[in-house]
Amino acid sequence: MTRLVIVGNGMAGARLVSEVRARDKHVKVTVIGAETWQPYNRVLLSNVVAGTMLPDQVRLLDPAWYADHSVTALLGVEVTAIDRETQAVLTADGRREPYDVLVLATGSEAVVPPVPGAAGAMAFRTLDDCRAILAAAGAARRAVVVGGGLLGIEAARGLAGRGLPVTLLHLAGHLMERQLDAEAGLMLGETLAELGVEVRTGVVVEEILGDGVRLAGGETVGADLVVLACGVRPVTGLAGDAGLEVARGIVVDDEMRTDDPSIFAIGECAQHDGTVYGLVAPAWEQAAVVADLVTGADKTSRYRGSRLVTRLKARSVELAAMGETHLTEDDAEVVRFSHRARGSYRKLVIRDGRLVGAILLGETSAVGTLTQLFDRGSPVPADPAGLLFPGISGSAVAESPVRMPDAVKVCQCNNVTKGQIRACWESGARDVEAVAAATRATTGCGGCRDVVEGIVGWLCEQEGISV
């Protein structure tokens, strides 16, 4: 019997456990997680901060799941070393767990900027962080969030949604500079301002004080709650200490295997073909590949990289970005629509007749079809402007379930198509919860829930079924 040990019980590790069990009931599975929590959906933590979800609602696996599926789960246990010679992992509490196959799913950790006082601020990364932030927010009068990437924006919007005045400080010239161009970043800032978040870009934080932060130049921004969202870095120390190849992340091949053939790495700690992915969909794709290989379900399974679609999960802010969004008219064909008064910005980047990048801010109904074009590298229509406005008569884009092809990928996180949802419905799933249980659609970032509801509702309507 193969002994599989998984180090890390976050979104990648927990997914691997369930993928393995879906393929093989007999592999001996032990998962070791440093956090005491059952695995939870980190993508939805901003909803916990905003108060729209409770901690129990972001849980990925029910506590009884492990026993029901013969999985040994060691929670709140830190792995301190890998003994590659004897194939065992060592834990801080003195345990020695032997393995035939070891998978590292150690994830990433919050970056704490090297400024005085940073140790006294709160990071926004884990469920424990959320609970600490919420406890502090209850007594706070004003908050500062440092970092204008995805996490920082979600944290700032969540706190503002609780009625707390929030200032968002960002080093770069505009928000989400990796995913957005300058105009989109500016308009996103204006949207956030309307929701109660004061945005300041191009500022340098020099010190975190007990009553706020001090900026370069001496200005102080007052706050009694400071949240750091300055990015993350892969957790690679365990692999590096064991002599595995580490660059920015743990280096793996197309099988997600390290330079030790009995050790794999997946998720945010892994570096595949020079890239470390920081989103959930690639981690889950990688987990499926490793599950195929470990169980023998598909020995030809390989990971070929992911084409990323970034979705902002902040209440009342619709944003999606994908691909090469920074290309200009000098490098590609760019189709753009901007309406600042309405906070609407849409941009397509087309090269050689294919969609290579897109930004949708303010209204994202076209994201499903654009993602399909982006994923498949399919030719765009002769008049690509129609892609920006799904409701235009004759447009190639139709988000209505009636016109949506079965091959359209509805849930990006879990690679679920409209056809799979239809098949699930035909098998008896009559609501979103039943579809989610069968296909996992909506269980990642949750951004596809409205579309799934629309498909299920349309199917029920066709059959005269009331829901």
Strands (E), 258-392: 263-265, 270-272, 309-311, 319-323, 333-339, 344-351, 354-361
- The reported pLDDT for the residue numbered 195 is 93
pLDDT band (50, 70, 90) for residue 463? low
Reported as a single tens digit per residue, the pLDDT across 153-197 is 999 999 999 999 999 999 999 999 999 999 999 999 999 999 999
Query: What are residue 10's phi and psi, to 5 degrees?
Result: -85, -150
> Worst-scoring range by mean pLDDT, 106-110, 345-349, 432-436?
432-436
Contacts 24+ apart (CB under 8 A), 250-257: 250/104, 254/302, 254/303, 254/304, 255/289, 255/290, 255/293, 255/301, 255/302, 255/303, 256/286, 256/289, 256/290, 256/293, 256/303
Question: pLDDT at residue 12 above 60?
Answer: yes
In contact, 24 and 295? CB cutoff 8 Å: yes
Does the CA dihedral 390-395-396-398 come out positive or negative?
positive
d(CA 241, CA 81): 7
Q: Where are the alpha helices (DSSP H) in 36-168?
A: 45-50, 65-68, 127-137, 150-161
Average pLDDT rounded to a whole number, residues 368-383: 86
pLDDT of res. 395: 40
Residue 393 has pLDDT above 50, yes or no: no
More confident residue, 190 or 455: 190
CA distance 198 to 166: 6
Residue 450 has pLDDT above 80, yes or no: no
Q: Which residue has the higher pLDDT, 398 or 303?
A: 303
Per-residue confidence (pLDDT) for residue 467, from 0 to 100: 55
Domains for the chain: give ranges and CATH numbers.
3-42+55-108+233-295 (3.50.50.60), 118-230 (3.50.50.60)
Average pLDDT, whole number, for the chain? 90
For 198-230, the pLDDT digits (tens) are: 999 999 999 999 899 999 999 999 999 999 999
Summarised one tens digit per residue, pLDDT across range 238-276 is 999 999 999 999 999 999 999 999 999 999 999 999 999
In which band, very low, low, confident or very high, does the pLDDT at 434 lie, cut at 50, 70 and 90?
A: confident
List the structure tokens of 454.
């629309």
Task: Kindly report the backbone phi and psi dihedral angles of residue 158, in degrees, each rounded to the nearest multiple of 5, phi listed first.
Answer: -65, -45
Percent of the chain with pLDDT over 90: 66
- In this structure, of 169-178, 295-304, 445-454, the range with the lowest mean pLDDT score is 445-454
Q: Is residue 389 pLDDT above 80, yes or no? A: no
The residue that leads in pLDDT, 394 or 129, is 129
Q: What is the pLDDT of residue 397?
A: 39
Strands 232-234 and 143-146: unpaired
Question: Which residue spans within 62-160 are E strands per DSSP?
Answer: 71-75, 79-83, 88-91, 96-98, 101-104, 108-110, 122-123, 143-146
Residue 353: the pLDDT is 93
3-state SS, residue 396: coil
Q: Lowest-pLDDT range, 150-154, 224-228, 396-400, 414-418?
A: 396-400
Mean pLDDT of 145-157: 95
Mean pLDDT confidence for 296-322: 91
User: 364 falls in which pLDDT band (50, 70, 90)?
Assistant: confident
Angle, helices 280-295/11-23, rounded to nearest 10 degrees:
40
Q: What are the φ and ψ backbone dihedral angles of 282, each rounded to 5 degrees?
A: -60, -40
For residue 318 the two structure tokens come to 């619709």
Residue 398's pLDDT band (boundaries 50, 70, 90)? Answer: very low
Q: Which helix (H) or strand (E) holds 226?
A: strand 225-228
In this prediction, residues 30-42 reach a mean pLDDT of: 93
* pLDDT score for 401: 65
